[in-house]
Chain A
Amino acid sequence: MAEIRLIDVREEILAENRQEAGDIRAVLKRHGVFMLNLMSSPGSGKTSLILRTIRALKHAFRIAVIEGDIDAMVDAEKVVREGIPAVQIRTGGACHLDAPMIAAALKELDLAALDCIIIENVGNLVCPAEFDTGAARRAVILSVPEGDDKPLKYPLIFSVSDLLVINKIDYLEGSDFDADALTTRVLRLNPGIRILPLSCRTGDGVSEWISWLREEIENFRRS
């Protein structure tokens, strides 16, 4: 009988995805295109924030959007109505976007005619956190009605993001949402993360988000 032997592997499970994400980053760098991976639960305001961003920045930068949805075109249609190119990825059941899907979507876009791509990831706080898409920055949105305990339940996504948007702060009044507790919980996972409270509905705080993104795009294109 054949003997059992050990092979040392010590390799990341998602090494291939990471490799492809690295390739995407190199291509985008060459074209000077800043890409943002925007993640959140369903209904926390990704599309609303993207629409506000487009309206604020479409005259300063050439923007495109990659929409990840399990099976719908609604969000992409809203973006196209703003006069912005959009690529819809229907994941057909997959709960996240990965680097190969983004690589395919990028082939649909004219990178030479763009400054910024926003990825609207599939609404989900679990899976998108595991997959590098090749974006230069990752932002996660948490909305007030979801509660301040989400970093306890889904720590990974808060630990890998560069920025946390707290959306729907117009719902704060009368709620038991504890922004200080949330901040403490997020910062212990990720001390470098920026936290921006805002309301897409009232517009409160949105200008800080726009300034952050504008600065990121400009720094990326300068470096």
Chain B
Amino acid sequence: MHELAVTESLLQVVLRHAGEGGAGKVVSVSVRVGELSDLVNEWMQRYFDYLSRGTIAEGAFIRIERIPATFRCGGCGDVFPADPRTREAIRCPLCASGEMTLVTGRECFVQQIEVM
């Protein structure tokens, strides 16, 4: 459901950058979304199609790249990927410490747009 609000913001960002770049049409939008986010790709595209009607971004394809979660070990500082949704214990692969901080996985930004 919050895809609607997020997609509204996305469209604003896209139109602003396309306008500043003197574009006549937006062909695609590359978005990077962290694995922890619950945004659903299909709904973002649908809402974008709906909201962008009559703008230069109408018909643009939303390409969503998921950024996997990585953690920094509290023991040795190693950064490693792990599934935050696993029921198993997560341990640092180098030193086996169970203390860690999330480094990536919460992103939500527009990387680039393809325009004509």
Q: Interface residues, chain A, CB within 8 Å of chain B?
A: 2-17, 94-96, 98, 126-127, 130-131, 149, 152-156, 159-160, 184, 187-191
1/0 per residue, CB under 8 A from A, across B73-116: the answer is 01000000000111101100000001111100110111111111
Between-chain CB contacts (< 8 Å), 30 pairs: A2-B24, A3-B116, A6-B114, A7-B21, A7-B112, A9-B13, A9-B17, A9-B111, A9-B112, A12-B108, A12-B110, A13-B6, A13-B10, A13-B108, A13-B109, A14-B9, A14-B108, A94-B4, A126-B2, A126-B38, A127-B1, A127-B2, A130-B2, A155-B85, A156-B36, A184-B89, A187-B99, A189-B84, A189-B102, A190-B102
Query: Separation in Å of the A93 CB from the closest CB of chain B?
Result: 8
Q: Interface residues, chain B, CB within 8 Å of chain A?
A: 1-2, 4-6, 9-10, 12-14, 17-18, 21, 23-25, 27, 31, 36-38, 69, 71, 74, 84-87, 89-90, 98-102, 105-106, 108-116
Given contacts A11-B110, A156-B106, contact A184 B98 (CB under 8 A): yes
Residue of A nearest to B100 (CB): A188
Whether A94 and B102, one on each chain, are in contact in the complex, defined by CB atoms closer than 8 angstroms, is no
Query: Separation in Å of the A191 CB from the closest CB of chain B?
Result: 6
Whether B9 and A16, one on each chain, are in contact in the complex, defined by CB atoms closer than 8 angstroms, is yes
Given contacts A9-B13, A13-B9, A95-B2, contact A149 B112 (CB under 8 A): no
Query: Separation in Å of the A155 CB from the closest CB of chain B?
Result: 5
Whether B100 and A155, one on each chain, are in contact in the complex, defined by CB atoms closer than 8 angstroms, is no
> Known contacts A7-B113, A152-B87; can you find 4 more A-B pairs with CB under 8 A?
A4-B115, A11-B17, A17-B9, A159-B36
Whether B84 and A7, one on each chain, are in contact in the complex, defined by CB atoms closer than 8 angstroms, is no
Q: Which A residues are CB-close (under 8 A) to B1?
A: 94-95, 126-127
Residue of B nearest to A153 (CB): B85
CB-CB nearest 3 A-B residue pairs? A127-B2, A2-B116, A9-B110
Whether A98 and B10, one on each chain, are in contact in the complex, defined by CB atoms closer than 8 angstroms, is no
Determine the distance from Cα of A45 to Cα of B21 in the docked complex, in whole angstroms.
Answer: 49
Query: Separation in Å of the B71 CB from the closest CB of chain A?
Result: 7
Query: Separation in Å of the A179 CB from the closest CB of chain B?
Result: 15
